[in-house]
A = this chain, B = another copy of it.
Amino acid sequence: MPPNDEVPPQDSAASPDSPERPEPPEPTPGRLRSTDIARLAGVSVSAVSLAFNARPGISDSTRKRILDIAEELNWRPHRAARALKGAGNDVVGIVIARPARTLGVEPFFAHVLSGLQSRMSIEGIATQLLIVEDTEAEVAVYRRWAAENRVDGLVLFDLAVDDVRPQLVADLRIPAVILGGHGAPSPLTSVWADDHAAMTRILDYLSSLGHRFIGHVSGVPSYQHTRRRLRAVADARETLGVDIVTVETDYSDTQGASATRRLLEASPRCTAIIYDSDVMAVAGLGVATEMGVRVPDDVSIVSFDDSVLTRLPHPPITALTRDTYALGTLTATELLHVMAERPEPRAVQAPTPELVPRGSTAPPPERRVP
């Protein structure tokens, strides 16, 4: 056995038998390294590495001894050194292209993030969040992250029509998953919900209540999911024979409110309004109340998204509900799979949101003379 003479845990004066090892009692412990653990366990650094990575080639007793010592000293392999050897960083990145100040208004996003994060942390993977101003900046971040080797995976949000990001990210060889993509072929795996079917559920419901003239406050039409909803609206005009008027907005409460005002001032007036987001629905409810339009007696209100926002006001708002948290965990699971196996891209369908009738919807008022 080499000069691996064990150092006696001697707090007293310098042990005379080993003059070549002064071993100063460092006040700042510097940093523990695998060497230190190896020395204390009486093995080589290689053995420490084998123990920590659960690899064969080491006896169980030695492994346990090493791990115990490391545990006691709260030592772990230095991440950077590990990553340098080609191991992952255990980080996934999420870049959101929105004005930072408006973020946090969207319960949807926060919930998805929670679910995603929760699933990832089970694997010891952290989530890195970056908020940028626009898609251009977002693309720059992807390039930088790819060059720096900063993340092991990505989640893409808010896919637009003709979005450049999937191809870019695929070219950069970063494992990634699209949340809210379409079912169509794509260079990336996507997790998507059937917005068309979801919107149809709302329209069927309102139609069955007797509504024949419906307002639709939609979101940004460049988003893919908005497109799908609009298509469902178009289809319903034919299938159900209802009259639907759409007002496009930017998803903000401000535009949701003004769109509502416009719809309610029009004559003839629609008997129900569908909102593409919970924030706009609540804003719309406020406008109606303010204008003296009773909900649901005069007009019914339905929200496409559900959250605490829709449940708290009076009356609570009928909404499509889905387990947004579970959507996050599903996305995370899929991303983990992509990171591990690099499979061919595929489309994973999330459950279609369910309609939850609440107090904001009722049959339309009797037709009365103007």
Interfacial residues, chain A to chain B (CB-CB below 8 A): 31-32, 74-84, 89, 91, 93, 100-101, 103-105, 107, 109-111, 113-115, 117-118, 121, 126-132, 143-144, 146-150, 253, 279, 282-283, 285-286, 289-290, 307-309, 311-314, 316, 325
Which chain B positions have C-beta within 8 A of A309?
A: 309, 312
Which chain B positions have C-beta within 8 A of A114?
A: 100-101, 103-104, 131
Cβ-defined contact, A80 with B77, below 8 A: no
Instruction: Say how many copies of this protein the assembly contains.
Output: 2
Q: A101-B325, A114-B103, A282-B313 are known contacts. Are A81 and B84 too (CB-CB below 8 A)? A: yes
Bound together, the chains give a CA A143 to CA B32 distance in angstroms of 14
Which chain B positions have C-beta within 8 A of A111?
A: 101, 103-104
Q: A312-B286, A314-B285 are known contacts. Are A100 and B325 too (CB-CB below 8 A)? A: yes
Which chain B positions have C-beta within 8 A of A314?
A: 285-286, 289-290
Complex partner residue of A76 from B104, B147, B307, B311, CB under 8 angstroms: B147
Q: A143-B74, A313-B313, A325-B101 are known contacts. Are A127 and B126 too (CB-CB below 8 A)? A: no
Which chain B positions have C-beta within 8 A of A117?
A: 100, 129-131
Bound together, the chains give a CA A279 to CA B312 distance in angstroms of 8
Report which residue of A100, A290, A311 has the largest number of chain B beta carbons within 10 angstroms of its beta carbon.
A100
Bound together, the chains give a CA A307 to CA B31 distance in angstroms of 45
Report which residue of A104, A110, A147 has the largest number of chain B beta carbons within 10 angstroms of its beta carbon.
A104
Complex partner residue of A126 from B128, B253, B312, CB under 8 angstroms: B128
